[in-house]
Structure 1
């Protein structure tokens, strides 16, 4: 078991966080107390999180299923854009996006392109997993790679292996890659520098705002900036246009519709079930039905008098807004293409907020349609587990068990040969009374190991 002194002694010279400021709300909760550690703004643990072998097997097989789901979404979007089926889907997903970005994602080159990294957010529940998001521009690769190597070096069998993150990224980006970090994502610069150093020759880091698209022709560019932020990144349009023309390779590809959480709601829409069954293998469809919570798109269009919102069995969103606090075990979240769509900032948990605020959030979501999409999902409570952590008490680090809920973030890499491989998995364990799970000062961050 690792000690605090061993973990702090292994802290990389490149650092993991900005020295001038602590991580943003994506990692930290400003209201939480300081951990007291010299380097780390999270709770340290002597051991990785143990997962039962059936869960390990499910995680190892999930990447392929999610890759096929993304392929199905991409195919459905393009068929919709061509008017072949459900033309309202592409129209809805494209609303509020710049015309040039829509044209780029509809290009022949990008139609044949798939994301090379798949990073779902999985809530660990009593029944297994619940997917809350498919992160298209994931952070945490450097931290997960470093933690995996650290705990593997102490003798633990780490999910993905000691170098799984490194091997996976290299296989998905053979020949090297140039990471471009935007100011919006600058808190991830230190860990990206570390990750590039771990990857070795051919993997470099630069700033997105000063990139030269012409100088990057023929190269693979890792896009560490969100597509909603392109107005603040002068070279972004040139980079995306070059990618659409095949002059360089952008990873993740600049395909905005794949960065929308709306697909999680569209997957459960009754009128699309026959389409999904056509696009997906039966076993993949069934597994996705098990792990994607029921979801709905918030559309202000009135329903016919005899109709109801599926599963909710209510006639209007205003009826949903008037549900009692106990009845609204629901989560409202913005779909994408907005600064609040990452880091848990655009998430509203129905039973954890006063009725006026819940109603106001629904009214705002309806008013935003169609320029900004919002989805609602069934709330799946996380399973309560206990895990060891060190808390600094008067300078004496002591290990104790903390009851908590777990978010699992597995990193899947699509190799050039089409295989999807699990590189590693970061577990975020927050105190049991927390409803939202994201990085925070009172969270434990560890890799995973078979029980």
Structure 2
């Protein structure tokens, strides 16, 4: 393994040394101590910040994970109380998955209303539904939990949960890069430190099998090819520690009646753990998908995340907030966890075209102060009223990840908004959509290096935090947090060329 050492002389070529004071990401800039005016977007920041940015970018390029976002000289800083709360959310989300899993199976058994499973199965092929219902699959839950958390003026909002997340390698590489620079001062500590993502991923994988020293295959589909390089870096880093792990394409798998194999030099070795980095909606396009499912069914290989599409539906939020299920979920989760989730999971509704009786209303949904009894009323919302809503595909669709398929109410005209509602209702039986309460992120500041000028500038923006929790047995551990900061004029926060991507540390 190449040993990276931070050498400031390598990154300070022909730049005069200036005031080394830095401004913490995520915090208002402090006044300068040398009688200079407060910094603004046009001022050049200290040279040491430039050195760090160049060093971090070089590391990311070397690791093969850098795409084209802006680099910050420091992590995004948060206070210890906020980070302690985020750390505690891991077990809450794990319990949420467990309660949702139990609710689904009790629904198909008739112990809970049948419409619950009907909603969660909507638009899926019967073969996949039957597969997920097998007893062998019943207790399996995702081994990685990654919420999207928006920092608002009123606190935190977890807008989505992802159990097949990208960003693992990027976060791991960023963590290593920042942890190897002399910028963490005093009590400032990087979440997960330098190796948290790598260790967490490995512990999650090895805990999914009883086999010692398992052979691990990270299977990345063509549809997910943009993430192959970061998963290859993750596998390569683990191999340097002696772990037998490879990143492969589905077609590289060798199937036999005894199990799944991969080539190892002139021979082949049996795969013990298969990490599924492909989406279930894409199964029909994935070579040997049926053979993977067959081997998992025969207990010849452990597949994680489990092939259970109902656990990947955003409509789980709508079920959580349904008043009929409140008592059930409060009992399943416990009052404390239920209360925490009730505060951070935004109100969500399933866009179902079914007609309500004349006296019926959609629980909790209001336009202005008026309860909504049919979706046609939502189409009449003013731009101000539309500010509170966003529409998303629930899951099992090529449009259900990233920002694709997401429509923010105040980002479109009234006519366009009405058209979106009509289309989603028409598409319900193939691709259900959800309506969700939209929460605007609070303003933060972050320093970054301008790619065109090489100057350090300050961006005012909004941040999305992506904590990565890894499950090992019953232990849920926070291993790192990826922070994406986008300019204020962007309605949706996601990785883009204008964004700054960094990791999180305590202040």
- The alignment's TM-score, normalised by the length of structure 2, stands at 0.82
Is the aligned partner of 1:141 residue 2:171?
no
CA distance in 2, matches of 1:218, 1:185: 21
Residue number in structure 1 paired with 2:456:
399
Q: 1:215 — aligned with what?
A: 260
* 2:265 alignment partner in structure 1: none
Contact residue 260 and residue 292 of structure 2 kept, 8 A = no
Residue 302 of structure 2, aligned match among 249, 258, 278:
249
Q: Deviations over 1:162-220 (max 9, x none)?
A: 11001111111123521001000001111111111112221211002342343246610
Distance change in 2, residues 1:212/1:321 (3 Å): farther
Tell whether the 8 Å contact from 2:149 to 2:158 is kept in structure 1 after alignment.
Answer: yes
- Structure 1 residue 14 displacement after superposition: 4.8
Q: Secondary structure at the match of 2:385?
A: coil
CA distance in 2, matches of 1:210, 1:373: 34
- Cα deviation code 1:19-60 (max 9, x no counterpart): xxxxxxxxxxxxxxxxxxxx6400011000011222101111
- SS of residue in 1 equivalent to 2:449: strand
Conserved in 2, the CA contact under 8 Å of 1:386 and 1:403?
Answer: yes
- Does residue 314 of the first structure (1) align with residue 372 of the second (2)? yes
After TM superposition, the structure 1 = structure 2 runs for residues 43-58 of structure 1, keeping only pairs within 5 Å, are: 43-58=70-85
Q: Give the SS at the match of 2:178.
A: helix
Structure 1 position 349 matched with structure 2 position 349: no
Tell me whether 1:158 sits opposite 2:185 in the alignment: no
Aligned to 2:109: 82
> Could you report, residue by residue, the CA deviation over 1:251-295 in whole angstroms, capped at 9, with x for unpaired residues?
111110001101011111111111211211110000000000111
Match of 2:234 among 183, 195, 208: 195
**Per-residue Cα deviation, 1:315-363 (whole angstroms, up to 9, x for no partner):** 1111011101110110100001110001110111001111111111111
- 1:123 to 2:143 alignment: no
Matched, 1:262 2:318: no
1:184 counterpart = 2:253: no
Other-structure match for 1:69: 96
User: What TM-score results when the alignment is normalised by the length of structure 1?
Assistant: 0.92
Aligned to 1:409: 466
- 2:122 is matched with 95
The structure number with the bigger radius of gyration is 2
Q: Which residue pairs with 2:23 in the alignment?
A: none
How far apart are 1:85 and its partner, in Å? 0.9
Rounded to whole Å, the distance in 1 between the matches of 2:390 and 2:441 is 14
Tell me if 1:377 matches 2:436: yes
Whether the 8 Å CA contact 2:260–2:295 is kept in 1: the answer is no
| Equivalent position to 1:105, from 111, 129, 132 | 132
Distance 1:245 1:89, change over 3 A: farther
SS at match of 1:441: coil
Which residue of structure 2 aligns with residue 327 of structure 1?
Answer: 385
Residues 143-177 of structure 1: CA distance to partner in whole angstroms, max 9, x if unpaired?
00000111111143211111100111111112352
1:296-325 deviation line (CA, Å, top 9, x unaligned): 111111122222222221111110111011
**Could you tell me how far 1:375 is from its partner in structure 2?**
0.7
Deviation at 1:5, TM superposition (A): 2.4
Q: Distance in 1 between matches of 2:173 and 2:348?
A: 35
Equivalent of 2:485 in 429, 432, 442: 429
Is contact 1:104-1:241 (8 Å) kept? no
Aligned to 2:60, the other structure's residue is in SS state coil
Q: Distance in 2 between matches of 1:5 and 1:368?
A: 47
Contact 2:56 2:174 (8 Å CA) reproduced? no
Local SS of the residue matching 2:457: strand
**Root mean square deviation of aligned Cα:** 1.4
- Are the counterparts in 1 of residues 215 and 271 from structure 2 also a CA contact under 8 Å? no
1:11 deviation in Å? 3.3
Q: Following the alignment from structure 2 to structure 1, what is the Cα–Cα distance between the partners of residues 145 and 389?
A: 25
**Superposition deviation, residue 392 in structure 1:** 2.6
Following superposition, the deviation at residue 81 of structure 1 comes to 1.1
Matched, 1:234 2:287: yes
Q: Secondary structure at the match of 1:299?
A: coil
Structure 1 SS opposite 2:450: strand
- Where does residue 350 of structure 2 map in the other structure? 297
Q: Secondary structure at the match of 1:188?
A: helix
Unaligned runs of 5+ in 2: 1-48, 207-213, 262-269
Query: In the aligned structure 2, how far is the partner of 1:3 from the partner of 1:249?
Result: 41
Distance 2:351 2:55 in 1: 49
Residues 218, 246 of structure 2: 8 Å contact kept: yes
1:57 and 1:3 mapped to 2: Cα distance? 28
Task: Give, in whole Å, the separation in 1 of the partners of 2:353 and 2:68.
Answer: 42
C-alpha distance in structure 1 between counterparts of 2:181 and 2:215, whole Å:
30
Cα pair 2:60 2:173 within 8 Å, conserved? no
Check the 8 A contact 1:119/1:409 in 2, yes or no.
yes
User: Bigger relative contact order, structure 1 or 2, given CA contacts below 8 A and separation 6+?
Assistant: 1
Match of 2:458, SS state, is strand
Shift of the 176–47 alpha-carbon distance from structure 1 to 2, 3 Å rule, reads farther
